[in-house]
Amino acid sequence: MVQLKTTNDTPLTNDNKQQGSNATITLIISALYISAFAICGTLFRVLIGTLFGSYCEDPTQNAIKNLFDYSNNSFNGKAKSALFVDLPANMVGSLLMGMLQSGLVLGLANSNNVPIAWLPIGHRFQGMDAIHLAFRTGFCGSITTFSSWNTQMVTLLTGSSQGAAQAIFGYIIGLELALASYTIGKHIAILGHRYLNPLHAREADIMVNNNSSTMTPEHAHHFVYHRDLPDFERHYLTNVFYKEEAEQLKEDIPILMEELEKWKKSTEDHRNLSNNVRGDLSNIERCLPVEEDEPNDLMLNVAQQAGWDVDALRRYVHGKNSSNECKDGSTLVDDKSYRSEFSSSSPVVDVDHAVFAAVVLLVTCGLLLSSALLTEGREYTSQNYQVFCISGLFAMPGALMRWRLSKLNGKLQGKYQWVPVGTFIANVTASLISISVTVVLDKFSSDLPYWGVISLVAVKTGLAGSLSTVSSFVAEVDQLLKSFPVHVW
């Protein structure tokens, strides 16, 4: 059975004959997951828009109108208020995008290689890179839409004498609320990370709290300097474990902990960053626990002169590799085992999953199409339901085009390399499609056949709505704000 990882197109084998095949399968798997999640995201956006706006045009929905009609948008998407119909969807999608960020994006110095920061580090979902991509690009990207937002603001500009002021307010509040939602999502992820990964939270507190009674400035430098150390070893060597926890570990795995304790005691006087052999100590700890390689002669000579018990560290690493289990049968959790779970050599998605995803996707598309075609009546409710179903079908090509266009981000040369050109092209293209459809519907809807109108609205809602994105846009803006004021414009 062929198995592969799906975060990128890097094949899992060095065999040149296998590379093209693996890259193609990876691309197909990613496309299947993104398509499926794009359908869900688009349908969710339409439901939110229906709840907060579209049904408000139906005179039979007075209760909903009284509760939720803050936007007052018409069926053809001509906005009458700066509070546009997709504002709640943009906020929800941006919030979820913030929650799905990695430790690196959130600035978690001691957990920067965690794909989903708020989950436990050892959680199996951490290794499902294809699902991470589908959630961010497919689901969050399709819940949010830039094209619909922009179209409704443009119609405000041309709709009345007060339209310009309303449109400016709509752009401002749309961007502010999306950024605020994304920021809240990031903070929720950080809180979740701290709650579910208490040792990492304790380590982070030690790193930033220079006035803590358990902290010296040397400790803070030490954590950053030894970021590559496996979690377990780093926490034990730098006293992140409470005394009771350390004693319990010595009871659970006495032989291993005895060797690690010997190494700790022999090196603790040289862990100050100002010590001139501090770099050699870091290199030895990188060679043995991380790379599982033998230190070179220069490192060993420094260790001998400093009195470091390298043999104890060797015995610890050998013993841990021979049996990485505690006395009660639980496994020692460390970065090494964590990284091996998500490394390129670790299969996380296979062809069977791809076949299953393809079957589910085909069944879903069939159900949406048949539901749209079999819906009787052409009243307002039936129209909305048919648009709902057809929009889900158009969401797939929109999300896939945006995903491929995102590969262009960072491709500009020189001082403009920071520009997310792929996202920009996607949003501009989708906005042009959306405004064009709106103009056609406004001018010629009475001359178009019934299914022509339904299809055009679905193109605007599904294709353009999924091709454009606010969640990725605000994530990129958030990153650019970190370099403020260099890229302020």
pLDDT, block means (10 residues), the chain with 489 residues: 40 51 79 93 89 54 39 47 82 94 81 81 84 93 90 79 80 92 94 86 68 44 56 75 70 81 83 69 82 85 87 84 49 38 42 80 91 74 83 94 91 81 92 91 85 91 93 87 63
Other CB atoms within a 10 A radius of the CB of residue 83 amount to 21
Give the whole-angstrom CA distance, residue 84 versus residue 151: 10
- In this structure, what token pair is assigned to residue 152? 């409704």
H-assigned helices in 375-488: 380-405, 421-444, 450-458, 465-467, 471-481
Residue 472 burial (CB < 10 Å; 0-12/13-18/19+)?
buried
- Give residue 485's pLDDT: 61
- Give residue 151's pLDDT: 85
Hey, what amino acid is at 349?
V
Asked whether the CA dihedral 435, 438, 443, 448 is positive or negative, the reply is positive
